[in-house]
Amino acid sequence: MATTFLSLLFLLFSLLTPTLISSSPVQDPEFVAQEVHRKINASVARRNLGYLSCATGNPIDDCWRCDPNCEKNRQRLADCAIGFGKNAIGGKNGKIYVVTDSGDDDPVTPKPGTLRYAVIQDEPLWIIFARDMVIKLKEELIMNSFKTIDGRGASVHIAGGPCITIQYVTNVIIHGINIHDCKQGGNAMVRDSPRHYGWRTISDGDGVSIFGGSHVWVDHCSLSNCNDGLIDAIHGSTGITISNNYMTHHDKVMLLGHSDSYTQDKSMQVTIAFNHFGEGLVQRMPRCRHGYFHVVNNDYTHWEMYAIGGSA
Ligand SMILES: *[C@@H]1O[C@H](CO)[C@@H](O)[C@H](O)[C@H]1NC(C)=O
């Protein structure tokens, strides 16, 4: 596991047109992939300086963990992503919001202090936790834009109910949370912003469902045993990095693109780096359609059917 396992795989199913609009989340994919390699190389070089350096060889972790004040400077994390999700700023420059209540009694009128109350707000928020907690959600947690869920310093589980949905929103960071045993939700009203709630049909029961989302970074989470995917990104979602996660005990691990005929997924760009695909996984680590997927420096322990696949 400690061996530097440089498995580089480009799954490039379609070439993007070279004229990219600068406001679009879609980036020059070759440039972004090269930049990831440069950062990994620089980090490995720092590690080789030995005791003079705190470096681990992991450019993401070096970025925030080498700061002796990282506990006070939580939002520095937002500058540390690599790859296609690197522009995800989450709740950077927003207030710190402390979750004090693990409950989720009313998904339409969430109580202040709950995780749901925090994630639906319009303003940017950096969400942390007052203590260890297990949050069993009643319905999907439908996130609003510009939020970071930062589990550092507490043991936080989102488990046993529906889990996280990132739908048509942007700039979400999820870090240091345990997400497992996720179930389907739905046929219920759920609030997604202070001004709006709506009817949700039955959900898939993913750990993290990204649907038309952009600038999303999922880092240092553990994920296992959900109803559908651990992390699925569909419907033109792009600008995504999935890094440093620990995934175990699950069948359909990661689906990136849900349909051969959904050609809008050509703009999907996802980096999968420094993840540990551990015991009891079956398939889709990831399974890709249409977009540009940079799968680099992951550790695969075993897989029952296949590890990486693509089509379309
Ligand atoms: C990273 O290092 C490897 C091995 O030394 C080298 O082959 C590669 O060209 C370097 N990549 C970049 C982008 O610097």
Q: What is the CATH number of the domain that holds 141?
A: 2.160.20.10
Domain presence at residue 175? yes
Contact, 249 vs 178, CB < 8 A? no
Q: Atom 3 (ligand 1): residue with closest C-alpha?
A: 41
| Residue 3 located in a structural domain | no
Who has greater pLDDT, 187 or 1? 187
Judge contact between 220 and 244, C-beta under 8 A: yes
pLDDT at 66: 86
Average pLDDT over residues 125-145: 98
pLDDT at position 56: 84
Distance (Å) from CA 74 to ligand 1 centroid: 31
CB-based contact 173:127 (threshold 8 Å): no
**65 in a domain, yes or no?**
no
Query: Which of the four pLDDT bands, split at 50, 70 and 90, describes residue 70?
Result: confident
Number of independent structural domains in the chain: 1
pLDDT bin (cut points 50, 70, 90) of residue 302 is confident
Q: Does residue 59 form part of some domain?
A: no
195 is catalytic: no
How many other CB atoms are there within 10 angstroms of residue 51's CB atom?
5
In the chain, the percentage of residues whose pLDDT exceeds 90 is: 83
- The pLDDT confidence band at residue 51, using thresholds 50, 70 and 90, is low
| CA of residue 28 to ligand 1 center, whole Å | 19
Looking at the predicted structure, is the pLDDT value of residue 18 above 50?
no
Percent of the chain surpassing pLDDT 70: 91
Q: Which domain holds residue 262?
A: 73-310
State the average pLDDT over residues 230-249: 97
Mean pLDDT of the residues in the chain: 91
- What residue owns the CA closest to ligand 1's atom 14? 38
In-domain check, residue 182: yes
Structural domain contains residue 193: yes
Name all residues whose Cβ lies below 6 A of ligand 1: 34, 37-38, 41
Name the H helices within 265-312: none
Q: Is residue 157 part of a domain?
A: yes
Confidence of residue 48 (pLDDT cuts 50, 70, 90): confident
- DSSP class of residue 72 equals T
Higher pLDDT, 94 or 70: 94
Q: How much is the pLDDT for 49?
A: 83
| Region 205-222 average pLDDT | 98
| Residue to mutate (ligand 1; options 7, 31, 41, 294; most atoms within 8 A of CB) | 41
Q: Which of 53-57, 274-278, 288-292 has the lowest mean pLDDT?
A: 53-57
Tokens matching residue 59? 């450019």
Decide if pLDDT at 19 tops 80. no
The strand pair at 276-277 and 299-300 is best described as: parallel
Cα–Cα dist 227/135, whole Å: 17
Closest by Cα among 143, 139, 62 to 107: 139
| Spacing, Cα 40 to ligand 1 middle (Å) | 9
Closest CA to 233 of 284, 192, 195: 284
> Within a domain: residue 27?
no
Q: Range with the lowest mean pLDDT among 52-61, 88-97, 213-222, 271-280?
A: 52-61
